[in-house]
Structure 1
Amino acid sequence: MEQFGVLTLGSRLKRLSDYLFAQVQDVYVQCDIPISATYFPILKLLQTAGDLSVVEIAERLHLSHPAVSKQTTKMIKASLLKKTVDERDQRRSSLALSGFGVDAMLRVEPILQEMKFVLEQQVDFPSQNFMDSLSLLEAQVFNGSLANKVMDRLAPVEIVLLEKQHEDAFYNLNMAWLERYFPNQIEDEDRALLTDPQSNIVTLGGVVWVALGGPQAKSVIGTVAFLPQNDLVINGANVGRVLKLSVAEHAQGKGVAQRLLSTIIDFAKSAGFSTLTLETASCLKSARQLYDKNAFIEMASPNKSHYQRADVYMEKQLRDAL
């Protein structure tokens, strides 16, 4: 439809609306939330404003009186709302959340927070043209399931060793990160490591972990790798290298990167390494904050980097390494 421009604006907005409602409903079903996605504006209004009449709800939400009346009737039957008749004027009544409705809104709140995070990422793009912005929004929303992304953020995260079934996700997640931040600086070594982590990391004594999220922990939402630096000895002790630390955009802000980095630190200590090294880029502010927080110290690199984009070298001393 995009090829027809503004002539299909209504159809495109309807398609987008239907898709978003369906995705939100999918999340509610998976999380056992007893409300319909279409009920949310009314429920949220009554949660914040208290008792209101159908007319007042319609005015505040800029909806038609019949539409609100139809929705609230369904919500009363679903025990989400309670209706109170004015003792002084039997023609007037007000609606409020029932006890069941209050509980449902409390249960849905953490889900809404994760949904807000994912959607804000998808609408965060610069454009002065509405139709261009709409195309970008459609590309973001229809690129992967919104419901799956929200469930990835809600589910507990599990850190496991890389297995064969994770290798495509290991490649795709890291390549997406490279294409976003350094599209013109993807090196042959990047492609080799991502295409065949078994040969280029594991068989060289390294280890790869992935972070799994979502229902039944099936979605790969993060990766990290450890590689011994056999050609580098610092203060007479073994050195290990951190590489390919990445977290899916929609799963950021949940501590996944910290858990992956902590996994490597714990492993390196138990394996007898005294120093961990890594390379990063000065433009990656969030990554730098993570490394600083974990006591990685910037210093001069002992070797020339394989990566043109890497302009920061850091080390962490593992003082209690075995």
Structure 2
Amino acid sequence: MRKEDIKIIPYNSSHKEKFICLNIAWIKKYFEVEPQDLEMLDHIEDYIQTGAGIYVALYKNQVISTCMIVPRNADTWEICKFATDEHYEGNGAGSLIFEKCLDYAKIHHAKKIIIVTNTILDSAMHLYTKFGLQPVPIDNMEYNRVNIQLELKL
């Protein structure tokens, strides 16, 4: 698979089942699914209505990666529900979709991007560093799995 074969498109309701399945599978692989995960996944359309950007990466018309960026306030946006099908990890889909979410936030005048995550996620941590995110004190502890917060000032 080549990066050129991956298409990044905006989420639509036909992607909902795959969006939820990919995210649940990714979370279960490393952690436990928490009530707030289910709440967010069950209300994707509500987040879109409040300005969130949600994208899917397609390979041969199959959803292989997802990413969501949500406005937390006028200046700060949060990356969340970022998952890739384990069979397609390492093929560039994550980088492409992550960049698309960053671009979405920039278009909407974000001044800062945050993400809360866990340092055991080596590939994700490498990607975040590649895009210039830096560790900051954690101010968003809504998930038990969080042990680091990163931010990127735009």
Q: TM-score range with shorter-chain normalisation?
A: over 0.9
Q: Say which of 138, 142, 148 aligns to 1:312.
A: 148
1:281-300 counterparts in 2 under 5 A? 281-300=118-137
What are the residue-to-residue correspondences of 1:34-73 with 2, within 5 Å? none
Count, aligned residues? 153
**Which residue of structure 2 lines up, in the alignment, with residue 243 of structure 1?**
80
| Corresponding residue of 1:172 | 21
Superposed displacement of residue 268, structure 1: 1.4
Cα distance in 1, alignment partners of residues 112 and 16 from structure 2:
28
What amino acid is the match of 1:269?
K
Alignment gaps of 5+ in structure 1 = 1-152, 231-236
Whole-Å Cα distance in 1 between the matches of residues 150 and 38 of structure 2?
23
Q: How far does residue 244 in structure 1 lie from its aligned partner after superposition?
A: 0.9
Aligned amino acid, residue 286 of structure 1: S
Q: TM-score, normalised by structure 2?
A: 0.94
Q: SS where residue 72 of structure 2 aligns?
A: strand
Please, which of 224, 227, 251 is the counterpart of residue 67 of structure 2? 224
Q: Larger Rg: 1 or 2?
A: 1
2:56 is matched with which residue?
A: 210
CA distance in 1, matches of 2:140, 2:149: 10
Residues 54 and 101, structure 2, Cα contact 8 Å, conserved in 1: no
Matches within 5 A, 1:55-134: none
Q: Which runs of 4+ in 1 moved over 6 A?
A: none
The CA deviation at 1:290 is 0.6
Q: How far did 1:204 drift?
A: 2.1
- The percent identity for this pair of structures is 27
* Structure 1 length-normalised TM: 0.46
- TM-superposed CA distance for 1:278, in Å, is 0.3
Higher helix share: 1
**Higher RCO structure (Cα 8 Å, ≥6 apart):** 2
- When the two chains are superposed, the root-mean-square deviation of aligned CA atoms in Å is 1.4
* CA deviation string 1:58-98 (max 9, x = no partner): xxxxxxxxxxxxxxxxxxxxxxxxxxxxxxxxxxxxxxxxx
Q: What secondary structure does 1:306 align onto?
A: coil
Alignment check: 8 A CA contact 2:67 2:80 kept = yes
Give the whole-Å Cα distance in 1 for the aligned partners of 2:53 and 2:107. Answer: 13
Q: What is aligned with 1:74?
A: none
Distance 2:40 2:68 in 1: 10
* Distance in 2 separating the partners of 1:308 and 1:285: 18
Please tell me whether the aligned partners of residues 114 and 151 of structure 2 are also in contact (alpha carbons under 8 angstroms). yes
The C-alpha deviation readout for 1:173-198, integer Å capped at 9, x for no partner, is 0001111111xx31111011122311
Shift of 1:270: 1.8
Residue identity opposite 2:18 in structure 1: A
Given that 2:116 and 2:140 are in contact with CA atoms closer than 8 Å, whether structure 1 keeps it comes out as no
| Partner of residue 189, structure 1 | 36
1:255 aligns with 2:92: yes
Rounded to whole Å, the distance in 2 between the matches of 1:241 and 1:291 is: 13
1:265 Cα shift? Answer: 1.4
